[in-house]
Amino acid sequence: MTTDFHHTWAADPPRWAVWAAYAVPLFVLPSAVWRLTLLVTDDAVTSWYMIFLSVLSMGLALSTLGLVHRWGQRLPRWVPLLGGRPVPARPVVLVALIGGSVLVAICVYLLLNSRFHFVERGWVGIGSDEPAHPAPTWEVLRYYVPMVAWGPLVIAVAADYARRAARPRRAVRPRRSPASHRLG
């Protein structure tokens, strides 16, 4: 663990947080790969969207690893202009908690919409002129069901990151030996 005069982290992340952070990309991967396989059968108009959505979701999922690794505490030296600087914990935690909460809200909405059909009744901003889409079958849902865990896992790992970052920040100075104390 690096010690400096700016910020010291009190502890390494617990094992459960590391497992949870690595689980996030694994839960997002099936849907990203499935969307990319649709490029073979889909038209060119929506193919850019499928690629963008897959890359974006995997990029965001992989960013969860920063909450349990050193590069999530201090930027690597090879990063231009910012390398070696500590990562401010408060904005990281805020973004992760907002992102996790949005993911949970989306899952709750989709669950409630599957039961109460908000879109079909015109309760949502989407007009009633929207064409009806058949409910997804298990052939599609099996790729998206693991993503339900994404939001809660990000929230849990972000809370642990915040806990570790909130430890007292104290400057770590080298201890003077008794012999140097008598000389000085």
| Per-residue CA distances from 170 to 76, 87, 177, 178 (Å) | 22, 17, 20, 23
| pLDDT given at position 160 | 95
List the chain pLDDT tens, one digit each, 184 residues. 443 334 556 578 999 999 999 999 999 999 999 988 888 876 666 788 889 999 999 999 999 999 999 888 888 888 888 888 888 999 999 999 999 999 999 999 888 887 777 665 555 555 555 555 566 777 888 998 999 999 999 999 999 999 998 865 555 455 555 555 555 4
User: Cα separation of 90 and 103, whole Å?
Assistant: 20
CA torsion, ordered 158, 161, 166, 169, to nearest 10 deg: -150
User: Cα separation of 120 and 129, whole Å?
Assistant: 9
Region for 169 from its dihedrals, namely left if φ exceeds 0, alpha if ψ lies in -120 to 50, beta otherwise: beta
User: Cα separation of 35 and 38, whole Å?
Assistant: 5
Q: Which residue type, as a one-letter code, is found at position 160?
A: D
| pLDDT given at position 26 | 97
Domain boundaries of the chain, sorted by first residue: 15-168
| pLDDT given at position 3 | 37
| pLDDT given at position 175 | 56
CA torsion, ordered 165, 171, 174, 179, to nearest 10 deg: -140
User: Cα separation of 61 and 65, whole Å?
Assistant: 8
User: Cα separation of 182 and 176, whole Å?
Assistant: 10
How many Cβ atoms are within 10 Å of 4's Cβ, its own excluded? 10
